[in-house]
């Protein structure tokens, strides 16, 4: 318990490091609620990142935000940040429906872009954004959809335990308690591309895509409960979807922004097929087969708490007749707050137990800009496939894909 308290405390108040002379200067578009968690706090412990400027639609809001978070400059508009040659990188925590326009503007201004998830309103926009001609060439700006949980060691370790070709079934759920959002939030505004599949479901959908190692062929069902009135109409506050993947297996995803009072960690459970496990100690007429049930608890915010549960069911049987000789089960649990703790192929990678997924993400973003190796990345193809899956589910639900921006 003391370790947990210390880790979470330090995650929110990380050690302030001295900034390098050539640190990248970030500008933030909007005084958004997520900006402290996603960028401002992680930047404190990164020697190559300075959060230099912020703009809001209302200057006084940006001034108050800058004062609270120690941001040295306030600009009059989002565009003023893009026009500043002193700014290297743009963080976009705007409503989903504005991601496309401001990411395109930022890329055209030659800036590196850290873009909040989901990357765009729909796959059509994602196709255009991630294929912008400005993004190719050796000095092209870096564009990253801020899929933060995928950068945490716990996700990397979990994914490394799963061979997509062995996956039989996946089930994943996430929730936000009812009191943490309100109907007036951007999450429930259709014109701003709101909806639970956009806000939370995207994590669950990504888990299915990544662990199956492919996009789904079909959304078999998607039952969504959505508001019906005014600007909120067609914004789902909870959903349950099932998808069919190329190996014939089914993945189930569900989420709610109207969950119970107590926050429960998001999770994903993978069930594998029976596979033969090589064991040289066995007599030649025997074989060992194993099926597994692996769960990552705490899939989205690993820094608070997570646990990987692995139940392996073994059968020792006669090779030709399949007559069972013995059955047994082994249960193990693992955690990985750092890559060192994940061990194996990850052991040498940087990180501290108090690093949030956002801090691991920032490390990768900076390394990519500096043309260094990165352990995890979300490339354009991946982000486009993600939006295709979201569109597929929205179409199946009857609510329809989120609306496209008229900006070009």
Ligand X SMILES: NC(=O)C1=CN([C@@H]2O[C@H](COP(=O)(O)OP(=O)(O)OC[C@H]3O[C@@H](n4cnc5c(N)ncnc54)[C@H](OP(=O)(O)O)[C@@H]3O)[C@@H](O)[C@H]2O)C=CC1
Ligand Y SMILES: O=C1OC[C@@H](O)[C@H](O)[C@H]1O
Residues 179-238 that bind ligand Y (CB under 6 A): 180, 187, 199-200
The pairing of strands 112-116 and 49-55 is unpaired
On whether the CB atoms of residues 242 and 251 are closer than 8 A, the answer is yes
Residues 151-190 that bind ligand Y (CB under 6 A): 176, 180, 187
Instruction: Please tell me whether residue 148 binds ligand X under the rule CB under 6 A.
Output: yes
> Considering beta carbons, is residue 76 or 279 the nearer one to ligand X?
76
On whether the CB atoms of residues 269 and 254 are closer than 8 A, the answer is no
Instruction: Please tell me whether residue 39 binds ligand Y under the rule CB under 6 A.
Output: no
Which tokens in the block code for residue 194?
């709101």
Three-class secondary structure of residue 75 per DSSP: strand
The alpha carbon of residue 86 and the mean position of all alpha carbons in its chain are separated, in whole angstroms, by: 29
Three-class secondary structure of residue 109 per DSSP: coil
8-state DSSP, 200: I
> Considering beta carbons, is residue 95 or 251 the nearer one to ligand Y?
95
Stretches 18-26, 93-101, 207-215, 372-380: which one binds ligand X (CB under 6 A)?
Answer: 93-101
Write down the number of H helices and E strands in the chain. 13, 15
Instruction: Please tell me whether residue 186 binds ligand X under the rule CB under 6 A.
Output: yes
Instruction: Please tell me whether residue 32 binds ligand Y under the rule CB under 6 A.
Output: no
Which tokens in the block code for residue 175?
């929730």
Of 96, 172, 234, 295, which lies in the binding site for ligand X, with binding defined by CB under 6 A?
A: 96
Of 95, 195, 216, 380, which lies in the binding site for ligand X, with binding defined by CB under 6 A?
A: 95
Instruction: Please tell me whether residue 93 binds ligand X under the rule CB under 6 A.
Output: yes
Instruction: Please give the helix or strand (H or E) that residue 309 lies within, else none.
Output: strand 307-318
Of 34, 135, 159, 220, which lies in the binding site for ligand X, with binding defined by CB under 6 A?
A: 34
> Considering beta carbons, is residue 93 or 270 the nearer one to ligand X?
93
Binding string, residues 40-59; x marks residues near ligand X by CB under 6 A: ----------------xxx-
Residue 200 contact partner, candidates ligand Y, ligand X, none, CB within 5 to 8 A by sort of partner: ligand Y
Nearest alpha-carbon partner for 290 in 157, 153, 161, 156? 161
- Tell me the closest approach of the beta carbon of residue 203 to ligand Y, in angstroms: 7
Which tokens in the block code for residue 141?
């700006």
Which tokens in the block code for residue 335?
């955690």
Residue 255 contact partner, candidates ligand X, ligand Y, none, CB within 5 to 8 A by sort of partner: none
Instruction: Please give the helix or strand (H or E) that residue 5 lies within, else none.
Output: helix 2-12
- Tell me the closest approach of the beta carbon of residue 200 to ligand Y, in angstroms: 5
70 CB-contact burial (10 Å; exposed 0-12 / middle 13-18 / buried 19+): exposed
- Tell me the closest approach of the beta carbon of residue 30 to ligand X, in angstroms: 3
Nearest alpha-carbon partner for 62 in 45, 49, 80, 46? 80
Of 11, 24, 28, 32, which lies in the binding site for ligand X, with binding defined by CB under 6 A?
A: 32
Residue 96 contact partner, candidates ligand X, ligand Y, none, CB within 5 to 8 A by sort of partner: ligand X
8-state DSSP, 23: P
Residue 172 contact partner, candidates ligand X, ligand Y, none, CB within 5 to 8 A by sort of partner: none
> Considering beta carbons, is residue 209 or 301 the nearer one to ligand X?
301
* CA angle (97, 67, 181) in 5-degree steps: 40
Instruction: Please tell me whether residue 38 binds ligand X under the rule CB under 6 A.
Output: yes
Residue 186 contact partner, candidates ligand Y, ligand X, none, CB within 5 to 8 A by sort of partner: ligand X
Which tokens in the block code for residue 3?
């370790």
> Considering beta carbons, is residue 38 or 297 the nearer one to ligand X?
38
Instruction: Please tell me whether residue 67 binds ligand X under the rule CB under 6 A.
Output: no
The alpha carbon of residue 325 and the mean position of all alpha carbons in its chain are separated, in whole angstroms, by: 44
> What is d(CA 205, CA 372) in angstroms, rounded to the nearest whole number?
29
Binding site for ligand Y (CB under 6 A): 176, 180, 187, 199-200
Q: By the criterion CB under 6 A, which residues form the site for ligand X?
A: 30-34, 38, 56-58, 61, 93-96, 98, 116-117, 146, 148, 186, 192, 199
């Amino acid at each position: 318990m003391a370790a947990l308290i210390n880790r979470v405390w330090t995650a929110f108040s990380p050690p302030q490091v001295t900034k390098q002379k050539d640190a990248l200067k970030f500008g933030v578009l909007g005084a958004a609620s997520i900006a402290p968690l996603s960028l401002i706090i992680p930047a404190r412990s990164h020697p190559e990142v300075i959060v230099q400027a912020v703009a809001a639609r209302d200057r006084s809001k940006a001034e108050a935000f800058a004062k609270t978070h120690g941001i040295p400059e306030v600009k009059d508009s989002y565009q003023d940040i893009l026009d500043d040659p002193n700014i290297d990188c743009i963080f976009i925590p705007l409503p989903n429906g504005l991601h496309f326009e401001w990411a395109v503007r930022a890329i055209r201004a030659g800036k590196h872009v850290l873009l909040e998830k989901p990357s765009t309103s729909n796959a059509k926009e994602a196709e255009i954004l991630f294929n912008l001609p400005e993004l190719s060439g050796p000095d092209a700006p870096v564009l990253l959809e801020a899929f933060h949980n995928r950068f945490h060691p716990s996700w990397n370790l979990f994914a490394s335990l799963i061979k997509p070709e062995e996956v039989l079934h996946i089930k994943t759920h996430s929730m936000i308690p009812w009191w943490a959002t309100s109907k007036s939030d951007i999450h429930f505004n259709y014109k701003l591309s709101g909806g639970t599949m956009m806000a939370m479901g995207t994590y669950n959908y990504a888990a299915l895509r990544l662990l199956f190692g492919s996009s789904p062929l079909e959304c078999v069902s998607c039952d969504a409960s959505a508001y019906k009135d005014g600007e909120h109409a067609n914004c789902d506050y909870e959903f349950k979807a099932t998808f069919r993947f190329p190996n014939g297996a089914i993945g189930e995803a569900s989420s709610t922004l109207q969950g119970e009072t107590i926050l429960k960690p998001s999770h994903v459970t993978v069930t594998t097929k029976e596979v033969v496990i090589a064991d040289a100690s066995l007599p030649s007429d025997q074989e060992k087969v194993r099926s597994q049930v692996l769960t990552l608890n705490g899939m989205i915010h690993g820094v608070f708490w997570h646990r990987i549960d692995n139940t392996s069911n073994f059968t020792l049987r006669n090779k030709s007749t399949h007559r069972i000789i013995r059955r047994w089960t082994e249960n193990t649990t693992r955690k990985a707050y750092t890559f060192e703790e994940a061990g194996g192929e990850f052991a040498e990678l940087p990180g501290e137990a108090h690093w949030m997924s956002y801090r691991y993400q920032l490390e990768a973003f900076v390394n990519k800009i500096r043309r260094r190796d990165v352990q995890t990345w979300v490339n354009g193809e991946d982000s486009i496939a993600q939006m295709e899956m979201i569109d597929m589910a929205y179409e199946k639900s009857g609510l329809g894909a989120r609306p496209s921006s008229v900006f070009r």
